[in-house]
Amino acid sequence: MKKLYAFAFAFLILGMGFASAASTDTLKVKTNVLAEEVSISVPDEIVFQDIAPGYISEKQEMSVVNMGTVDVSVSAELDALYEGDIFTNLGFKRVLADELTNIRYFDFEVMKPTTVGGEKSEGIYMYLDLVDYSGDTAEADHSADIIFTAVPL
Amino acid sequence: MTNKYFIFFCFVFFIGFGSCASLTMGPQQIDFVGSGKDFVCQEAHLKLEGSEFVTGEILFSEDGFSERKLSRHNLSAEEVGLKVNFPEEVFVENKTSVNICVKGKKGNYHGIVLYRMKNKPVRVGIWMNVSFDRDSSLVKISGDAVSLDEGEFSVWTIPLVLLVILGLLVLRLKFRDSGDETCESEFEDY
């Protein structure tokens, strides 16, 4: 009896397979094409260690992540509301061998991810260069907002 | 040894919690084509995780510059002679659409729509191409008369020209009729 049930079950499975193959004579292809998007992610905060005028800070590594579907150009700028002068001396490098580029002139490219929904990150190095700084030297905590802007290439 | 593992797991744990700001905007380019007399509108979308206020601005390049270089786009819409209508502050909850409308004088303009998350270090932008051609289809009929920038004049030009032509035709018909009558009377006399 058990054998009979097993045979019946096997035929049922086999029959279902044939039925589904025979019921359609074409292969339907479906996809969802997503709209092109510009999307980046950057860290909220970077903290430099203690520094004094006449010195350059230790490098701070950070990553800008492209999560969109287009290659982007990313530039950095100080918030327009920033009134101090310490952080106008921020500099960036893409690779350690590069010359330090001041924040006003720094931009770089982050290519789109290789797969849709994926991420592509680009690491950069940030420095606070106070070697030639001659502004306010009073000991105090300083902070400023930096904006990273991504636009399609 | 156990301590080393503990430190490693703590490190991984805290990396996971490292906060980032991200913002998405699309499509990568929007085109505005029209006469420029009425607002031409296009839609863009903004996406972020959770909900947040974003602030927007639109900047244009100098006349004739159409390269995708952000630093060369530093003029306001008014400065290039355009009027733009768009939400300068938007509350985005996961995904939100924004409607951007432009009108203005004839010409080609290259601009960028930028949105920034409030109090966050991230801003994204999409390019905009504006092409306003006041002449549109009327130029073939009436030539330069309607290619002037002041649209009011062009609206009245065509009816006026048509009225003048109609008047001339009526006059000509009248003269012809009177001429025929004269000939007929002369013929009868003959």
- What pTM value is reported for the model? 0.69
Look at B71 and A75 and tell me if their CB atoms are within 8 Å: yes
What's the CATH number where A107 sits? 2.60.40.1090
Element holding B113 (H helix, E strand):
strand B107-117
Would residue A142 count as lying in a domain? yes
- The residue segments making up the domain with residue A143 are 40-152
Quote the minimal CA–CA distance from A108 to chain B in Å: 12
Distance from C-alpha of A38 to C-alpha of B125, rounded to nearest angstrom:
7
Interface of A with B (CB under 8 A): 35-45, 65, 67-68, 70, 73, 75, 107, 145-153
Distance set, CA B100 to CA B85, B93, B178 (Å): 6, 19, 62
Would residue A32 count as lying in a domain? no
Would residue A107 count as lying in a domain? yes
Look at A149 and B125 and tell me if their CB atoms are within 8 Å: yes
CA B24 from chain centre, in angstroms, equals 22
Q: What integer is the mean pLDDT of A40-68?
A: 90
- At A83-99, the pLDDT tens digits run 888 899 999 999 999 99
- At B34-48, the pLDDT tens digits run 988 889 999 999 999
DSSP secondary structure, A65-127, as one string: EE-SSS-EEEEEEE-TT---SGGGGEEEESSTTSPPEEGGG-EEEEPPPSSTT--EEEEEEEE
For chain B, the structural domain boundaries read 21-132, 139-189
Would residue A23 count as lying in a domain? no
CATH of domain B21-132: 2.60.40.10
Would residue A87 count as lying in a domain? yes
The closest of B129, B170, B133 to B30, measured between CA atoms, is B129
Distance from C-alpha of A38 to C-alpha of A53, rounded to nearest angstrom:
39
Would residue A24 count as lying in a domain? no
Number of domains in chain A: 1
Query: Is A62 a residue whose pLDDT tops 60?
Result: yes
What does residue A88 show for φ and ψ, rounded to 5 degrees? -70, -10
Q: What integer is the mean pLDDT of B26-41?
A: 91
- Residue B19 touches chain A, beta carbons under 8 Å: yes
Distance set, CA A7 to CA A3, A11, A16, A136, B38 (Å): 6, 6, 14, 90, 75
| pLDDT value of residue B135 | 61
